Amino acid sequence: MERPMTERTLETLGLAEAPRDHPLLYPGAWPRESGLLDGDRLLPLDRLVHTDRSPVLAVGSNASPAQLRKKMAESRIASPLPMVRTRVTGIGIGVSAHVSRLGYVSASPFNAPADVRELFVLWLDAEQLAVIDASEGVPLPLGNFRRAWLPAPEVRIELADGVTLPGVYAYVNRRGVLHNGGSEPRTHPGQRRLLTELLLGSARLRRLFGVTPEEFCARARADRRLCEQGTRLFAEEKLVTASGLEEYVTVQGTGAPPSLP
């Protein structure tokens, strides 16, 4: 049954808490279905493809409406934002090889040809895309992420109506992703479990960030120097591997998409 508009607020849908406010909730609550994020509401969509916008794959907190609302509000952007649930083949959700000043260790995509999962594609206008780029550090020479165009058929993006996209943008960590103890990337299990496992595995990390996920988040939040130390530690302890998506990142940090259907 269709929900009344008054019941489509993020609060009533259980989507109101943003990971940037509650780091241990990362990646945040995702919607169950496609929708149009319009301020504090998630409304029905009238179409799944928006050819006048850029499709961006969300693998972490960018699929959280509350997180998106926060990012847009900080830049005083109020235009609606389509979020489309899609079936994605070829992408795994890994662990970024950096510690975020927002107090968590974020997700980052990696090449996984056999993986099939449900993810959201955000259809962003130019202003919205600039905001998300900035939040991921794309414009900065040493920013954490680069925006890459992932083409079909290497990555298959199938919409609910059976339409497939020619590709999609994704944010690829420029340092790589954490591995699983062997040669493969580890998958992101959610913030509390991830931090528990990382802290148990590294005495140096415990000395920097404490022994519990709560301590880690509290110490990391807004402490740039400490986050940089944690990021270097990942590399120094040889916890990092390539995502397998590096070839899609251009010098400018963005690929060039073909025409959309």
If DSSP codes are grouped into helix, strand and coil, which group holds residue 116? strand
Strand partners, 36: 43, 82
- Distance of alpha carbon 166 from the chain centroid: 20
Phi-psi region of 230 (alpha: psi -120 to 50; beta: other; left: phi over 0): alpha
Sequence-ordered list of residues with C-beta below 8 angstroms from that of 198, at least 6 positions apart, any chain: 105, 205
Query: Given CA atoms 248, 252, 253, 259 in this order, what sign does their dihedral have?
Result: negative
**What proportion of the chain, given as a percentage, has pLDDT over 90?**
91
Judge whether residue 253 has pLDDT over 50: no
φ/ψ of 199, rounded to 5, equals: -70, -40
What H or E segment, with its residue span, contains residue 155?
Answer: none
Looking at residue 47, its pLDDT comes to 96
Rg, Å, the chain Cα set: 18
Residue 18 lies in a domain: yes
Residue 125 lies in a domain: yes
Judge whether residue 251 has pLDDT over 50: no
If DSSP codes are grouped into helix, strand and coil, which group holds residue 189? coil
Residue 197 lies in a domain: no
| Residues 167-219: tens digit of each pLDDT | 999 999 999 999 999 889 999 999 999 999 999 999 999 999 999 999 999 99
Look at the block and give the residue holding tokens 């960590």: 173
Residue 154 lies in a domain: yes
Residue-level length of the chain: 261
| Buried residues in 177-188 as b, exposed as e (16+ CB within 10 A) | bbbeeeeebbbb
Q: Where are the beta strands (DSSP E) in the chain?
A: 35-38, 41-43, 54-58, 81-95, 107-124, 145-151, 156-158, 164-165, 167-173, 177-178, 240-241
φ/ψ of 140, rounded to 5, equals: -90, 140
Residue 214 lies in a domain: no
Boundaries of domain holding 133: 5-175+243-248
This prediction has a pTM of: 0.93
- Mean pLDDT for the chain? 94
Count: domains in the chain:
1
Residue 255 lies in a domain: no
Q: What is the mean pLDDT of residues 153-176?
A: 97
What CATH number does the domain containing 111 carry?
3.10.490.10
Residue 41 lies in a domain: yes
| Residues 12-65: tens digit of each pLDDT | 999 999 999 999 999 999 999 999 999 999 999 999 999 999 999 999 999 999
Q: Alpha-carbon distance 80 to 73, whole Å? A: 12
Q: What is the mean pLDDT of residues 79-96?
A: 98
